[in-house]
Structure 1
Amino acid sequence: MSDDTSAQAVLRKRLYWHSRRGMWELDLLLIPFLEQRYDTLASDDQEAFQQLITEEDQDLFGWLMRREWPETPHLRRIVQMIVEHAETVDNAVYRTL
């Protein structure tokens, strides 16, 4: 484990642990997004991700499975980004098979 105690490293570790949920389906969407896209997001999108992971699992599941969308625009935007990221990654995996 890294000994980095900078504010950025502490935040990153906190985000990682909060992205680990009680549902495997959520882990498969949130953790890769955090690892692969979070650092490149605009600050308002990073804040939206931080807010998103404080939501209840059942709400996250409904949103990320596209059964419904968050009412607030900034949460809707980050959910759409996560879903699109997962679709892009899935398509890239299938192209390599």
Structure 2
Amino acid sequence: MTEIHSKERIRWACRRGMLELDVLFMPFVEEAFDSLSKEQHATFQRLLECDDPDLFAWFMGHETCKDPELNSMVSLILDRVRV
């Protein structure tokens, strides 16, 4: 699979059922995804496999993700989108 197809699939996976998540994921993918390491790419892809209610709770600060890698990615996304 080429890099372009991979990024297109990531963009598609970022389209969620909740607008609040779309507003976080889409700018992150457009502005920061390319600068991530391969490990961070894998972590981001794992994050996209999580259920929307869990993602919403993590991003809104209602809960903390117990997986340290995913929790780190949530923080990274929030930091990048706030800039």
**Shorter-chain TM-score: which interval?**
over 0.9
Q: Distance in 2 between matches of 1:20 and 1:78?
A: 18
Query: For residues 51-78 of structure 1, what are the alpha-carbon distances to aligned partners after superposition, in whole Å with 9 as ceiling and x for unaligned?
Result: 1001100001011111112111110110
List 4+ stretches of structure 1 deviating above 4 A. none
Unaligned ranges ≥5, structure 2:
none
How many residues are aligned here?
A: 83
State the percentage of identical aligned residues. 35
Select which of 2, 12, 19 maps to 1:7.
2
Query: For residues 21-66 of structure 1, what are the alpha-carbon distances to aligned partners after superposition, in whole Å with 9 as ceiling and x for unaligned?
Result: 0010000000100110011011111111011001100001011111
Describe how 1:1-97 pairs up with structure 2 within 5 A.
7-88=2-83
Larger Rg: 1
Unaligned ranges ≥5, structure 1:
1-5, 89-97
TM-score normalised by length of structure 1: 0.81
Q: CA RMSD in A?
A: 1.0
> What's the offset of the Cα at 1:10?
0.9
TM-score normalised by length of structure 2: 0.94
Q: Distance in 2 between matches of 1:86 and 1:75?
A: 16
